[in-house]
Structure 1
Amino acid sequence: MQEIPGDLKFNTSHEWARVEDAGTVTVGISDHAQGALGDLVYVELPSVGDTVKAGNACAVVESVKAASDIYSPVSGEIVAVNAALADQPETINEDAYGDGWLFVVKPDNLADELDELLDPDAYAELIEGDDG
């Protein structure tokens, strides 16, 4: 199992959130999620300027096995998307916690929403339950 970075928070639906120095939140899917999906072949991202709500679907990733909705871990405005994924969705498989990020949110109410997310240890316990 890949090491889970300690600076991330997680949804139970396997999205990660990293709070950046500028106060924005970078979002992606966990290494566990990309592994369960298999080889990704298509990514549909929200648009810059879109408003997202925590817990609501705002993107889609498709693999050779299935399509899966991506749920935003925080509410706010989309300020950046990883456009490179349109041509290289496999980047998520290769580097889920790095170059495979999906989008960046300028959050509305970060502190309260972060408290709702799982820390790396709690997420590790969640996925151990998935595996066994």
Structure 2
Amino acid sequence: MTELERNSKEYKYFLSIYKKMAKRLLELQTEQGHWAMSLLAAEYYPTPETSGTAFFTYGLASGINQGILDHKNYEPTVRKAWNALCRYVTHEGMLGYVQPIGAEPGDACPDKTEVYVTGAFLYAGDEVFKLYSK
């Protein structure tokens, strides 16, 4: 969205979708702070999952930082998600509980990681840092 003109039809279209999705994510966050592998069937996948959580944390924190999302309503969700992500970093510095790459949810465990999640975690961390350094 940062590449689109704010008054364009396309920006308004994507902004509407983004805000709807962000609002729904508030409702779907688990008590532990992460989002389940299957957003609408969390009871079937109770283990933490960090790749989606990192991407959602990035997206919500970025929205707050850009003034798109209300700080008061979204910041507690970002804080809870970031704290959850940090709990899933091992002593060796690996972010665990990453679901396998595939077409459906799979098993995530403390020592399961994927290369792409490192980037998602760093993107989230960058936006969280910006959020709290203001």
Same-fold status (TM-score > 0.5): no
TM-score w.r.t. length of structure 1: 0.29
TM-score w.r.t. length of structure 2: 0.28
Relative to total residues, which structure has the larger helix share, 1 or 2? 2
* Higher normalized contact order (CA 8 Å, seq sep 6+, divided by chain length): 1
Relative to total residues, which structure has the larger strand share, 1 or 2? 1
Structure ID, larger Rg: 2
